[in-house]
A and B are shown apart, each in its own frame.
Chain A
């Protein structure tokens, strides 16, 4: 199958040193599935493994069971409802050993043999609330009208321990005019309460071989787990879980000893053993699980808070790795020839990370967000990675036979950061000498410094006061008119653009009645408007006021232009700025 490789574009750059061969990529395969609905199985017993996918479809009615051989679609069976899980298992000992495909969907398990429908298993009906039954009996005999029926059902819903059936719940959701028709339509049929399947797994019956008979293990919405007999489809065992199971992982043999790991919707993982009706251990995850995988004797769970967590089978936490993006799904990767086991985690950033324990071994970049991963034997190739994407694409990659993974491959652990040496310059001998001097003459140095500091303070204050008196600062500090100004000169001459940026620093009060005037050498410069009124300054806004200055001299000399910001009716300026005009280059060049 590798011969028909249509290599993908994203893989090309890393093709040479990648450990994976891009065997097939079909972005429009129209496969929408989660990891639980994808499995690989040798359906015809000829040693060529097929890909079995329970396709969710794009709308509510085109659910299909699809089987791929190589890159082609082999068969398609329409499914009556959404598949929850797909599993391949051996039902009987006959030769040739061809596994059956079980598709869990709604309250049923459809079993296909040789890709033909073979058997339909229905979950046992659940106990019905006797009160509810009575009420419907009355309705059947037309003893009560729909409105009082509704009242009674509501009462039952609030008080009863056994929940209402689906029919009653649907009835309660109806508007009064529709009720009559609904009652008439359904009242003659017996009332039933059914649960649905949430997850499914397989468990070897009494032998550990590859081709041994397996039981089906079913998790249900009613917080229960069933183990079914493969031949008679009778219930062999029934267990109760504190919450709704979402992921199942089973090891061992039913008749000998087995261990069942169940991740539940409440964010807990429960561990069952043979003959335990209640969970033996429980693990509280930090967040809802996205996937659950058992690697040898440890449990690895990807959680929706972007972490990957490892636990022992007794529920002791081993490690936590934070992931760069939200995990979408995960799967076990087992390279049997090298005895290598790792966990594949698909992330929302279009990458698939491979972890061995807590160390990142390799990263696979994909063309789309991967929603399901399945690793195993496909066709005749032992190590194949099959992924379907959010957009309905199908990616098949083959592990190179020469590929060897070692732990430190792509790990981004802490140790590398720790080993980087910081570029701290060495302290020089000069520095040491100076510190000696400091130690010896500390008193003298301090005295000199303090004296000079005082002198500088005096000088600064004096200059500052001077500047304030002559309003030289570009910022006013008065409480009435806190203003700020700065000027920018643009141009090369002889005409310059002088932009004054005026702004009030007060938080609430606008500045009004301001005048701007310029003082300059009239022989050197010409200004069209040497005096104008500033607009009202609204707080928080910067007002660029532009004027044009023309340089009249061609001697290559420049002067200072003074800008005053004045208050109407006051002679002392609020603000003053000196603008050093650039030399006019324009005239000389002309």
Chain B
């Protein structure tokens, strides 16, 4: 009998070991008992403790780090009222990727996303497609994500993250938030904090959460920075960025901590003021020198502003502090890869492998690096492994696509043909594969086929200049100058610095002038 643990301690132990399901069940049992055998004298009853623990367990189950989850919904992008300048000056906005100021590799070498930003080495929620220009682009399913954008970030995505309660609890939610007297709870600060997190993360009920936070901060006489940060988070969710900014700033005055700075910077980058966000981070670095999350935040903003070399510098700083930072390693690796140093990129990716990252994408990158660094004995084994690790068809499509590149590189066009077709089989929207297939067809002299593929590629990915340019060249060869000129102009819009396009346009203009 003596060996029996106190059930509350047992539940606590489960919680510490992150066995939240068991913890929650044990707490439920405790709560079902009559709240009779209370120890008087202590501030909290066992009942309260169990309730609190259960709330925390439930919250932890669905907890997502609020700083990192940031994807703008369609409504926010298209109906953005916070934009300060419609036509921002270059280098002050995230909306205009513009020309690369950081001396990064050109578009011809490093591919770009839909919005004209170079691809990054690490997929984060906001790197998927940047800011689309039109509604149609916004609601088209992006290739890397399985879902279209959430309609608004305040509803869709977060509800789904928080729907755990609906699926797991058949009897309905644990707490009926609507019936709680929030004012009462706000009197008990320790309970209130747990309850707030539960309402905010588990129930995703921002309205009640902000009510609770407002009561609590009033009760704390506006002296508790924690509540201010929480109110700011709520405002941020509600899209009231300026209000969130004041809350975060006020909290920072009371207590300067990294997390608040990250939130504040997030508000600024949502307001499209990257320079101000950088300021916040850099002030934070003065206070907390070498803080990884701040350095990483700076690097991300530079990357989004298309200043690749500055971003790489900050990622290097991150690695100096934390040499197992996956994002930094991946970004530096891809940067080296696209600046013609695949052997160094290979080093970085190998480091990731040593750290235990073992997935399709990594082997895919390793294979490509080996190919471009001429380590022929490792190319195909990497790709083979990537194929076997591919979790879904999109990943497999990317592997086949890269294999197609290798096949083109060694001159085996029939293998390349098969690889690109397999990429298309796995992913019907693979515009790059369509383009390369068209090039192969063009070499075979099957012009009609090539044209069809190119048209498909250009309609699937209007942000890529290659299909437009190829159409222009093809039409020029056939003698369809009008179509060639139109396509060349599209190509120029996608990649203004492309010399071949400029040459072609010049040539066409001369031709038109002569007629």
Contact = CB atoms under 8 A, between A and B. Distances in A.
25 contacts: A428-B341, A434-B373, A445-B376, A445-B377, A452-B384, A455-B384, A456-B403, A457-B415, A460-B403, A460-B419, A464-B421, A473-B424, A473-B425, A486-B434, A486-B460, A492-B148, A507-B448, A542-B456, A542-B459, A582-B141, A583-B160, A585-B150, A585-B160, A588-B155, A589-B152
B224 interface: no
B151 A467 contact: no
Contact of A460 (B141, B155, B415): B415
Nearest to A580: B146
Interface in A376-433: 423, 425, 428, 430-431
Contacts of A428: 341, 343-344
A305 to B, nearest CB: 14
Contacts of B384: 452, 455-456, 459
Interface in B427-473: 428-429, 434, 448-449, 451-453, 455-456, 459-460
B408 to A, nearest CB: 13
Given A464-B418, A588-B159, A456 B452 contact: no
Given A467-B425, A582-B141, 6 more contacts: A452-B381, A460-B422, A501-B456, A542-B452, A556-B163, A580-B146
A490 B373 contact: no
Interface in A443-493: 444-446, 448-449, 452-453, 455-457, 459-461, 463-464, 467, 472-475, 482, 484-493
A115 interface: no
A490 B418 contact: no
Interface in B376-427: 376-377, 379-381, 383-384, 387, 393-394, 400, 403, 410, 412, 415, 418-419, 421-422, 424-425
Contacts of B377: 444-445, 448-449, 452
A484 B452 contact: yes
A453 B452 contact: no
Given A434-B373, A484-B452, A589-B152, A490 B380 contact: no
A492 B428 contact: no
A438 B377 CA distance: 10
B449 to A, nearest CB: 5
A428 B422 CA distance: 36
In the complex, the 6 A-B pairs of residues with the closest C-beta atoms, listed nearest first: A452-B380, A585-B156, A448-B377, A507-B448, A449-B376, A589-B155
Contacts of A556: 160, 163
Contacts of B159: 588-589
Interface in B137-159: 139-141, 146-152, 155-157, 159
A7 interface: no
A490 B381 CA distance: 38
A460 B400 CA distance: 9
Interface in B112-170: 136, 139-141, 146-152, 155-157, 159-160, 163, 167
B16 to A, nearest CB: 31
Interface residues of B, number: 62
- The B interface is mostly helix, strand or loop, or mixed, namely helix
Contacts of A457: 412, 415
B383 A505 contact: no
A577 B427 CA distance: 9
Contacts of A540: 448, 451
B375 interface: yes
Q: Which range contains the number of A residues in contact with the other chain?
A: 35 or more
Contacts of A539: 448
A578 interface: yes
A495 to B, nearest CB: 12
Contact of B156 (A452, A460, A501, A589): A589
Contact of A503 (B163, B400, B422, B452): B452
B424 A438 contact: no
A194 interface: no
A475 B375 contact: no
A475 B424 contact: yes
A582 B415 contact: no
B262 interface: no
Nearest to B160: A556
Contacts of B410: 453
A585 B448 contact: no
A114 to B, nearest CB: 51
Nearest to B447: A507
A501 B459 contact: yes
A71 interface: no
Contacts of A326: none
Given A488-B140, A585-B147, A425 B341 contact: yes
Nearest to A576: B425
Given A490-B136, A490-B139, A582 B146 contact: yes
Contacts of B400: 460
Contacts of A583: 146-147, 160
A490 B422 CA distance: 24
Contacts of A223: none
Interface in B356-385: 373-377, 379-381, 383-384
B339 interface: yes
B151 A586 contact: yes
Contacts of A363: none
A287 interface: no
Given A431-B373, A452-B381, A585 B148 contact: yes
B418 A461 contact: yes
B140 to A, nearest CB: 6
Contacts of B412: 453, 457
B78 to A, nearest CB: 12
B347 interface: yes
Contacts of A585: 147-148, 150-151, 155-157, 160
B322 interface: no
Contacts of B419: 460
A506 interface: yes
Contact of A472 (B339, B380, B425): B425
A473 B74 contact: no
B448 to A, nearest CB: 4
Interface in A508-545: 539-540, 542
Given A449-B379, A589-B152, A505 B141 contact: no
Contact of A486 (B403, B418, B428): B428
B68 interface: no
Contacts of B434: 486
Nearest to A563: B428
Contacts of B415: 456-457, 460
Contacts of A492: 74, 139, 148-151, 156
A579 interface: yes
A222 interface: no
B340 interface: yes
A490 B140 contact: yes
A424 to B, nearest CB: 8
B22 to A, nearest CB: 25
A488 B451 CA distance: 20
A558 interface: yes
Contacts of A588: 155-156, 159-160, 163
B386 to A, nearest CB: 12
A463 B400 CA distance: 11
B462 to A, nearest CB: 12
Contacts of B147: 558, 582-583, 585
B367 to A, nearest CB: 11
Nearest to B455: A542
Contacts of B148: 489-493, 582, 585
Interface in B308-365: 339-341, 343-344, 347
A200 to B, nearest CB: 36
A486 B141 contact: no
A484 B453 contact: yes
Nearest to B387: A459
Nearest to A491: B139
Contacts of B394: 580
Contacts of B374: 434-435, 438
Interface string A559-586: 0000000000000000001111011011
